[in-house]
Structure 1
């Protein structure tokens, strides 16, 4: 496509337009139009775009040509506060005592797990309300991480780097979700163990008892 034929290609874009383009890319991963590798290649352009033409180039095979200018021009508010943008993730800090999120909680599209004392972080999403179909979780520092997701969710661990002799990844959850269920993408690195699983009978009993 000759992007010079599209209107207002040199107009500067806003933060909302960048986030909207990133959301379109993430939705395309869920429905299988993009691979995770393609998402990783295009996201930096979306989040650092200067002009509409920058966004045209990464969306032209996902949005019909006739709709592309209107889609790029949209000012779609994706929400504010921690976890609602790439630049401002929900930060979960783990000390020696660890950190646990469970029960009914809102799972935003962007989280960062920061381990500062080798403690264990448990993200139990069994009763969480996901706010997006693709959830980015970046792990930094040295936390052990356990992620519990409902049946039918997908968790992609291919972007996660484990270093050190004591580190490992143990996932019992498929990479791709079933139907419209969410998909979690794990990124970053740790020297400790990362476990991904569905709720156990003990988890379900504990939740019922609580």
Structure 2
């Protein structure tokens, strides 16, 4: 496709237009039109796009040509606050005492788990309210992580790098979600154990109660 034939290709794009393009790419991963590897390859272009032509190039096989100008012009209602932008993730810090994120809470599309000590992080999403269909979780600073997700959610751990004697990944959750349920993508690196599971019977009883 000659992107010069599309209208206003040289117009500069806003931060909201970049985020909207990124959201389209992330939705394409959920419904199987893109692989995680393809998402990783295209996402930097979306987030650093200078003009509409840059966005046209990464969406041309996902959006009909006639609809591309309208999609690029659309202002994506991503919202504000920590976790709603790639460059401003929700930060979850683990100290020596560890950190538990549980109960009812909003799970935004961008999360970063930072290990500032050797304490572990328990991220319980059983009653979390997901704010997007694709959730990026980046792990840094070598924390151990225990991730609990509801039935039907998907968790992709293929982008996560673990090393060292204690570095292991134990996931009992499918990579792909059921229907429109969320898909979590774990990235980053750690030298500690990462465990991904669904709630145990006792935890289900507490939640239902």
Assess same fold via TM > 0.5.
yes
Distance across 2 between alignment mates of 1:76 and 1:36: 22
Match of 2:122 in 1: 122
Q: Is the 8 A contact 2:142 2:190 kept in 1?
A: yes
Match of 2:148 in 1: 148
Matches for 1:25-174 after TM superposition, within 5 Å: 25-174=25-174
Distance across 1 between alignment mates of 2:93 and 2:205: 27
Q: Is the 8 A contact 2:94 2:115 kept in 1?
A: yes
CA RMSD of aligned residues (A): 0.9
The DSSP-based 3-state class of the residue aligned with 2:157 is strand
Distance across 2 between alignment mates of 1:204 and 1:61: 42
Distance across 2 between alignment mates of 1:117 and 1:208: 34
Unmatched segments (≥5 aa) in structure 1: none
Match of 2:184 in 1: 184
Q: 1:183 to 1:97 in 2, by over 3 A?
A: same
Unmatched segments (≥5 aa) in structure 2: none
Distance across 2 between alignment mates of 1:112 and 1:10: 34
Aligned residues: 209
The DSSP-based 3-state class of the residue aligned with 1:159 is coil
Distance across 1 between alignment mates of 2:120 and 2:62: 39
Q: CA deviation at 1:62?
A: 0.4
Q: Is the 8 A contact 2:127 2:207 kept in 1?
A: no
Give the TM-score taking structure 2 as reference length: 0.98
Distance across 2 between alignment mates of 1:61 and 1:207: 42
Distance across 1 between alignment mates of 2:145 and 2:207: 20
